[in-house]
Amino acid sequence: MRIARELSWLPASAGRLVIAVLVLTLAAADAAAQSALERVRASGRIRIGIDATYPPFGMAEGGEFKGFDVDIGRAIAAQLRVQPELINASFDGVFPALQSGNFDVVISAVTITPERSATLLFSDPYIATGQQVVVRSASTIAGPDDLAGRTVGVQINTTAQFSMEKRPGIAIAKYNTIDLALLDLQNGRVDAVASDGPVLRYMMRNSFPGLKAVGVEYTDEKFGVVLARGSDDLRRAVNAALWALQESGEHGRIYRKWFGDPATPSSAETTAAPFDPTIVARTWRLFLRGVWMTAAMAASSLILCLPLGLALALARVQANRLLSSPAAIYIEVMRGTPLLVQILFVYFVLPTVGVNLPAYASGILALTLNASAYVSETIRAGILSIDAGQMEAARALGMNYRQAMRRVILPQTFRRVVPPLTNEGIALLKDSSLVSVIGLTELARTGQELASRYAAPLTIWPLVALLYLALTFPLTRVAEYLERRWRPVTRA
Amino acid sequence: MIEVVDVSKRYGTASVLNHASFTIAEGQLTTILGPSGCGKSTMLRCLNRLERFEDGEIRVGDVVMNGTSAGASSRSAENDLMHRVRQRVGLVFQNFNLFPHLTALGNVIEAPITVKRLPRSQAEDIGRLYLNLVGLSGREHDYPARLSGGQQQRVAIARALAMEPDVVLFDEPTSALDPRLIGEVASLLRLLDELKKTLIVVTHDLDFAEAISDQVIYFEGGRAVESGSARAVFGQPSQAETRAFMNGFRSRQGTERP
């Protein structure tokens, strides 16, 4: 099962390092004066963190959650007589968010391991599962012991990867999501794919005909509900709820709904081929929501970062060190640290000093703070590129510094920095995909969810690319318009 | 009356102005003549406070500027001083420094609107008046990039005049122009002379200086070596440096124009 699932565009080690640093930071800050169970009962809701890109355990289409873990979470909430509040987050982000009190529990196909038990609390297991191997229908591979000398696809940083690494003579190909591994198996680039049994069965049933599972589940793994340290009373309540679900047969009904006989699928899940264009017709509303989220995040940040960037640039060109030095330091820090870390910092670390912003505001804040550093340097370069004679001419006419800046220097600067600022705007728009790490379902995250959900990366990702292109297009048009309008001025 | 009394200025250890002293009468066209690097442009820039100086004193009418060694003035006092000097003294730069993002008229009315707070319509009337005076009526809405060098200089002159200063400074007005246009600059300066402005022209071009000047100050080594009427200085220079410069200039001219 998964240990840590990374954002697909990040190197795995960077992501894990970030998490490690954040967890250490957060471990220092211990919040709860109220016990976890008291908090849940008093608020009348239980906040459940889930990475909903992992069918059949967790899936999301826009705001609607489905899957085994989702049903288990809802059943537990019903037992506790509180409302379930499901919160989507990247697997990278769920543990820090749990530690900082953004969730009460995480139910997200998390394997109980000794390493995790050292820093987190686990409930009793709610499902037992194991790794399995799938191959193409015509393959002669009969099980996990036939894999020597073969290439095996796995999802990166999963227990499947680690178990394969322990077996000699196997070449391992690592993928960010399991649907990509299965796609490559279909394409013949790998000989087998190893992953979690229920996930593989679900994927094959829905989207990957021509593959077969071989051999038995060769590992034994148990998933548990995860709680922050100190939530012992809530853990007791969750365990009692799980027992009650077993006793009443509710757990069995949920299990059969998701993992029952493939011949009679009780879930109303749709089936789709990997290249199915009808997926577009079925998912366009969700894409629209993703496009809207991306556009709103990028536009808000862009509008906010321009005045901030201008202020920083103006501060930095001052001779007075009291003004220029803080701006220089700010820019150095913001440009020298990864945007991902800044987003995680705003969302997870600021709450420990009492600044608790919702995800949307945190995303915009982090993007704005980051982009303003780049924008300010672009504007500063523009200011410095204006001939010194312009300032002298303005001053010689009796204008003071502010008047000269406002009426003479900055209007010329803006004309010059339109092309590089357009670059910044486009970069900002694409960088906004990183806010998915704090659970915002923007365009790239929508693509990731739907690619897993429909196991159709070849339909979904080109569509995502086209939509990004469509979003950047208006920006470049505005820039072209401004350049055309100002051409008589810039022509020497 | 403009009085420069014992003004000295250094850039690091290099002395640019070295006890410069002279007076300039109102309503006259005075040239400051001298070889390259003699400090004459720096002197000009001190006259409207684009540069400060360490020692000495400059008086422009009732505005008094002191050397920085006499003690630092407060920021607001300095701003006030700059404001008063620049109300009185306009400057036409060597390479004009027009605002490229504004039309000819826009260049001329910018300071009357932002500094003098004139209503736009009134500023435009003044702007058209001065553009007309320098012979640019009809070109009000052209951007500087569309104008020739001579036309750009006329916009720069109109821009300085629109603030209605008593004194207009010209830094090397012939150096950025085609030599054939020098005659036009001379006639333009004579036209301005009729407005009874005090005109101070820095140049290293002896012929040009001789053609336009009422008064001449010969500058060398960061100080005024000789000053007097154009007739006296050009006809009977009293100082050896002045004679050497003029002889050198004439012989150079002679070899260039056989």
Report pLDDT for A21. 52
Report pLDDT for A215. 84
Residue B239 has pLDDT above 60, yes or no: yes
Report the SS3 class of residue A156.
Answer: coil
Residue A383 has pLDDT above 90, yes or no: yes
Residue A298 has pLDDT above 80, yes or no: yes
- Residues of chain A whose C-beta is under 8 A from some C-beta in B? 387, 389-390, 392-400, 403, 407-408, 411-412, 415, 486, 488-492
Q: How confident is the model at residue B257 (pLDDT cuts 50, 70, 90)?
A: very low
CB contact under 8 A, A398 and B79: no
CB contact under 8 A, A490 and B87: no
- Mean pLDDT estimate for chain A: 84
Q: How confident is the model at residue A136 (pLDDT cuts 50, 70, 90)?
A: very high
For the segment B174-199, the average pLDDT, to the nearest whole number, is: 87
Which residue of A389, A399, A491 is in closest CB contact with B114? A399
Q: How confident is the model at residue A93 (pLDDT cuts 50, 70, 90)?
A: confident
Candidates B83, B85, B13, B9; CA nearest to B43 is B9
pLDDT digits (tens, 9 = 90+) for B155-180: 999 999 999 999 999 999 998 888 88
CB contact under 8 A, A412 and B100: yes
Under DSSP, the state recorded for A158 is B
Report pLDDT for B254. 54
Q: How confident is the model at residue B184 (pLDDT cuts 50, 70, 90)?
A: confident
pLDDT digits (tens, 9 = 90+) for A156-211: 777 788 888 888 889 999 887 788 788 889 888 899 999 988 888 888 877 777 88
Q: How far is it, in rounded angstroms, from Cα A248 to Cα A243?
A: 9
Q: Does B120 touch chain A (CB under 8 A)?
A: no
Q: How confident is the model at residue A355 (pLDDT cuts 50, 70, 90)?
A: confident
Nearest residue of B to residue A405 by CA position? B114
Residue B255 has pLDDT above 90, yes or no: no
User: How far A479 CA lies from chain B's nearest CA (Å)?
Assistant: 17
Report chain A residues whose CB lies below 8 A from the CB of B86. Answer: 395-398
Among A331-340, B15-24, B66-75, the minimum mean pLDDT is found in B66-75
Element (H, E) at A370: helix A359-385
pLDDT digits (tens, 9 = 90+) for B198-238: 999 999 888 899 989 999 999 999 999 999 999 999 888 88
CB contact under 8 A, A408 and B110: yes
Which residue of A390, A396, A412 is in closest CB contact with B86? A396
User: How far B82 CA lies from chain A's nearest CA (Å)?
Assistant: 8
Nearest residue of A to residue B109 by CA position? A397
Q: Which of residues 197-216 of B touch A (CB under 8 A)?
A: none
CB contact under 8 A, B97 and A408: no
Q: How confident is the model at residue A348 (pLDDT cuts 50, 70, 90)?
A: confident
Q: Which of residues 149-208 of B touch A (CB under 8 A)?
A: 159-160, 163
Report chain A residues whose CB lies below 8 A from the CB of B91. Answer: 396
Report pLDDT for B73. 77
User: How far A487 CA lies from chain B's nearest CA (Å)?
Assistant: 10
Report chain A residues whose CB lies below 8 A from the CB of B164. Answer: none
pLDDT digits (tens, 9 = 90+) for B111-149: 999 999 999 999 999 999 999 999 999 999 999 999 999
Report the SS3 class of residue A17.
Answer: helix
pLDDT digits (tens, 9 = 90+) for A32-85: 457 888 888 899 999 999 988 788 888 877 568 889 999 999 999 999 999 999
CB contact under 8 A, B99 and A408: yes
Report pLDDT for A62. 59
- Give all strands (DSSP E) within A130-214, no chain letters: 131-136, 151-155, 171-175, 192-196, 211-214
Contacts of A53 (CB under 8 A, 6+ apart): A5, A59, A60, A177, A448, A449, A452, A453
ipTM of the predicted structure? Answer: 0.92
Name the residue with higher pLDDT: A273 or B127. B127
Report chain A residues whose CB lies below 8 A from the CB of B145. Answer: 488-492
Report pLDDT for A155. 85
Report chain A residues whose CB lies below 8 A from the CB of B116. Answer: 398
Contact status, residue B43 vs residue B52, Cβ threshold 8 Å: no
- Mean pLDDT estimate for chain B: 90
Helix A359-385 vs helix A321-336: crossing angle, to nearest 10 = 120
Q: Does B143 touch chain A (CB under 8 A)?
A: yes
Residue of A318, A392, A397 to mutate, testing the B interface (most B Cβ within 10 Å of its Cβ): A397
What pTM was computed for the model?
0.72
Q: How far is it, in rounded angstroms, from Cα B154 to Cα B156?
A: 5
User: How far B16 CA lies from chain A's nearest CA (Å)?
Assistant: 20
For the segment A425-431, the average pLDDT, to the nearest whole number, is: 93
Q: How far is it, in rounded angstroms, from Cα A377 to Cα A344?
A: 24
CB contact under 8 A, B145 and A399: no
Residue B152 has pLDDT above 90, yes or no: yes
pLDDT digits (tens, 9 = 90+) for A122-135: 999 999 888 899 99
Which residue of A387, A392, A486 is in closest CB contact with B50? A392
Report pLDDT for A8. 40
Q: Which of residues 75-114 of B touch A (CB under 8 A)?
A: 79, 82-83, 86-87, 90-91, 93, 95, 97-101, 110-111, 114
What is the signed CA dihedral for A51, A52, A57, A61, rounded to 10 degrees?
A: 170
pLDDT digits (tens, 9 = 90+) for A318-334: 999 999 999 999 999 99
Residue B252 has pLDDT above 90, yes or no: no
Report chain A residues whose CB lies below 8 A from the CB of B83. Answer: 398, 400
Q: Percent of chain A, pLDDT > 90?
A: 43
Q: How confident is the model at residue A358 (pLDDT cuts 50, 70, 90)?
A: confident
The residue with tokens 């998390």 is A110
Among A6-10, A163-167, A470-474, B79-83, the minimum mean pLDDT is found in A6-10
Q: How confident is the model at residue A261 (pLDDT cuts 50, 70, 90)?
A: low
C-alpha distance from residue B203 to each of A113, A212, A388, B17 (Å): 87, 93, 22, 17
Report pLDDT for A382. 95
pLDDT digits (tens, 9 = 90+) for A468-492: 999 999 989 988 898 888 765 554 4
